[in-house]
Every structure is written in C-alpha cells, then in structure tokens.
Structure 1
C-alpha cells in the first residue's frame, strides 16, 4: 500500500468567482504529513527499503523532512533530518513527532544539505527533498488521479521551490498524453529562483532567500526544473509575500484548510493575479499544503 493518499479534487466556487473561470483544487494539503511531498518521498523511501537500506537521511526546510520522517516511521526505518537555522520550531517539532532525529546546521538549506550528505554511509539512503527522478515519478500521481477522476483542465498552477513538484507534474502530464498543457509556476519575491533562471536564460542561484515562504527556499532550482521551463509551456509568475499570505487566509475561509505561504503563492495567482490565467477556461491548482505554518503565524504576517 502506498504511503500517500488519493486526495480530494474539488471545484472551487470562490476561486472560480475570483478568477472568472472554472478552478479545480487538488487538495494535497490533506496528505498525512501535510503536503504533496509524501508522494515522491514515500515512493523513494519504499524503493530504498526494498533495496536493503536501513536508515534514511534527508535535508529539508520543513515539509520534506516531515514526509521522510513519516515514511520512516511507517516503514520502521530510522530517520535523520538536517535542517537550516531558518527552519521553524514547529517544523522541527513535527519532524521529531514522527520519531526522527533533527540536526540544525547552516544558514540555508544548501549548507544543511552538505552536512546531510556527509552523514550517508553504505546502509543509508539519502532522500533528496526535490532533485531525484524517484520523487518526480511519485509526484506525477497527482495528474494520474485528476485524469482518472475525469476532470479536464487546460492549465496547471503550482508552486516552485526546488522544482520537484514541477518535474513531477510535467512527468504526469506527459504520461497521460497532456504534454502540451501549460504549467503556471508560482514563486514569491525573495525566493524566485526559477524566475531568475528563466530571465537569465541559464541556471541561476539567488544570493539569499528573503521571502517568508521558506519552504520555497532553494536558492537554485534543479537542472531538471530549469530544462522543463525551457522546453515545455511553462509560465513563471512571481507574487509578493502579502499576496501569498492573503491567499492562505482566504482559502482557509473558503475551504477550511490551512496551508503555508509557499502554497499560497499558487493560490494567489487565482485570487489576485487572475490576468495571468487569461485564455484558460478550466484551471487545476495543486494545493501542495505545508504543515509548517500556524494560524497565529499567518495572522501575524498579515498584520505586519
């Protein structure tokens, strides 16, 4: 049995009204560890468990670590997660709640990732948070489920951090004969590493992450994500932190689901940047979730 759930697919009257077109939500915020990450990470962990690995090590700003910890607990395999200093206490607590060890290292995910790689030995599988074909194939099940539900769509909106979700959705579209469907890739200002790379025409690293959407905090997207943006119909959209937070609060009112600003970036495209959806009639938004934000924190950001 897969470690992820088949999540609800909802038509959203409120987002449809806000954007002036039919909007469908793939509710991956309802996965047991709180985000879409368990699809690919669960598939990778199961693969490595079958191949005899006896420990999982990962690096994460939050959600990937929670997913690896959850997968390890379900598979009875110990887990160590290396996180940067920017990771919230809530995220660290949720990782520990699943029985994993948490190690804090470095100012950014890149530094935590380097330390995580040093902890890998012959019996250990390294679970990358976004840059691994095993993950992308797992994330592609999002599109499989939408297609199996019989819901047609002419664009997909999703958030981009390191690009794992983008790579997975592109693979899912391709294997369902939908390669030409445009992907609208949303990021927040201060974490827009894909937009920077697209603008430069080459893979580009941000000097720092300055957005509150720290889950989008990869200073450089994966090579695969950049290639997809160069070769497939991908449109980059950057929203500010306030739009992302406001979208989180609105979707909480509209659908009674709490998501974090990293996910709010995608929702903000329909709520406040509907001009970017011109020409599309039925839009699928991946509500990727995120367990690391609390209501109190969202309210504090909104008030600031």
Structure 2
C-alpha cells in the first residue's frame, strides 16, 4: 500500500456558482500530512527504502519536509530536515511531532539546501522538495485516481512553486492519454518563476521572492516544469497575495478546510468569477498546506 491516500473528487457548489462553471475539487489537503506532497515524497521514500537507504534527509520547512518526516516515521527510518531561519515555529513543531531531527540554517531555502547536501552519506537518501522524477511519478497518481472515476476535466487548475506538482500532473495527464487537457498554472506576483521562464523561453532565476505565499517561493522552477509548459497546453496566470489570502478565508467558510496561501492562489481563479470562462468542467487541485493558521492569514490580510 502506498503512503498516500486516494483523495475525494468533490463538486463545489459555492465555487461553481461563483465561477459560472462546474468546479471540481481534488482534495489533496486531506492527505495524512496535509498536502499533495506525500504522493511524490512517499513514492521516493519507498523507492529509496527498497534500495537500502537508512536515513532520509530533506531541505524544506514546509510541506515537503513534513511529508518526508511522515514517510520516515511510517517506514521506520530516521529523518533529518534542514530548514531556513524563516521557517515558522508551527512548521518546526509539526516536523518534530513526526519525530524528525530539525536543523535551522540560513536565511533561505537555498542556504538550507546547501547544508543538507553536505550531510548526505552513502547510506542516506536525499529527498528533494520538487525536482526529482520519482516525485513527479508519485504526484501523477492524482490524475490516475481521477481517470479511474471516468471523469475527464476540460482544464486542471493548480499552483506552482518549484514545479513538482505541475510536472506530476502533466505526467499523469499524458500517461492517461489526456494530452488535450490544458493546465492553468497559478503563481502570485512576486513568486512567478514559471511565468518568467515561459516569457523568456528559458529557465530564469528571480532576484528575490516577494510574496507571502512562501510555498511558491522557488526562485527558479525545475527545468522539467518549463519543458512541460512548452510541450503541453499550459497557461500561466498571476494573482495578488490579497486574492490568495481572500480565497483561503472564503474556502474555509465554503468547505470547512483551511489551506495555505499557495493553495489559495489557485482557488482565487474560481472566486474571480470570470477567470475560468469557456470551460465547462474544471478540476482544481486543492494542494493543502499543514502549516497555515487562520490568525496568520488574517494578519497577512491586514498588512497587504
């Protein structure tokens, strides 16, 4: 049995009425560790465990780190997660709750990642947060589940950080023969690394991340994400931090599920009212986010 669970595909009446089209929610916020990351991370961890790995090392203070910590606990292996100093106390608490060793280092994920790489011994497995074919293959299981229901969406809406979810969804669409289903990739202004890469026609590294949606805060998307955007129908959309935060609050009221701003960015398109015109059946990936709190989201809204 895989470490992730099969999640519900639910029709959202509130979002459908607001968007004037049928909105279906792939509820990966209900994964045991709170986000879609468990699909790919779980697949990678199980693969490395089968190859004899004796410890997992990761470099993420967010959902990927939590997924690695969860997988390690379930597989009976120790986990070390290196997080940057910007990581919230809540995230560190959740990592420790899963039994992970937490090392705080550096001002950004890049610096934390550099240290994590130096810790990897021959008996360890490094689990990247987004740039690994094992992750993409695991994330693709989301589309496999949808295909098994005989429901085929006219479009898939998802948020993009480093590009792991985008890669997994496109891989899943293609391996199910859905090459004609477009993907609408959403980022916030200030974290639009995919948007910049598509416009430039090549990988682009942002000078800085200027968004509260820190889970979208990869200065550069993985090369495969850009490659898929160039070979599959992918459109890039930017929304404001305020729109993402507003979507988080409205989604909590509509569906009693709290998600983080990175997920709110994608949901913002349904709350826009006109952004999804022309599509009859839209699937939105509710990717989740275990570290979000309502007071934090409300405080961010007051400062935007």
Q: What corresponds to 1:295 in structure 2?
A: 294
1:276: Cα distance to partner?
A: 3.1
CA distance in 2, matches of 1:283, 1:62: 27
1:303: Cα distance to partner?
A: 2.5
Answer yes or no: is the 8 Å Cα contact 1:61–1:217 preserved in 2: no
Q: What corresponds to 1:66 in structure 2?
A: 66
Mapping of 1:228-239 within 5 angstroms?
Answer: 228-239=228-239
Q: What corresponds to 1:130 in structure 2?
A: 130
Q: Which deviates further from its counterpart, 144-153 or 214-223?
A: 144-153
Mapping of 1:160-239 within 5 angstroms?
Answer: 160-239=160-239
Misfit runs of 4+, over 2 Å? none
Answer yes or no: is the 8 Å Cα contact 2:10–2:24 preserved in 1: yes
Mapping of 1:209-288 within 5 angstroms?
Answer: 209-272=209-272, 274-288=273-287
CA distance in 1, matches of 2:221, 2:105: 21
Q: What corresponds to 1:42 in structure 2?
A: 42
CA distance in 1, matches of 2:103, 2:5: 29
1:232: Cα distance to partner?
A: 1.1
Matched, 1:93 2:93: yes
1:278: Cα distance to partner?
A: 2.3
CA distance in 2, matches of 1:83, 1:219: 16
1:254: Cα distance to partner?
A: 0.5
CA distance in 1, matches of 2:104, 2:199: 33
Answer yes or no: is the 8 Å Cα contact 2:20–2:277 preserved in 1: no
CA distance in 2, matches of 1:198, 1:86: 29
CA distance in 1, matches of 2:179, 2:77: 37
CA distance in 2, matches of 1:81, 1:191: 24
1:178: Cα distance to partner?
A: 0.2
Give the CA RMSD over aligned residues. 0.9
> Can you list the C-alpha shifts for 1:132-191, whole angstroms capped at 9, x where unaligned?
010001000111111112222110000000000000000100011101210000001111
Partner SS state of residue 284, structure 1: strand
TM-score by length of 2: 0.98
CA distance in 1, matches of 2:58, 2:261: 23
1:105: Cα distance to partner?
A: 1.5
Gaps of 5+ in 2: none
Q: Would the alpha carbon gap of residues 216 and 61 (structure 1) be closer, same or farther in structure 2, given more than 3 Å must change? A: farther
Mapping of 1:147-158 within 5 angstroms?
Answer: 147-158=147-158
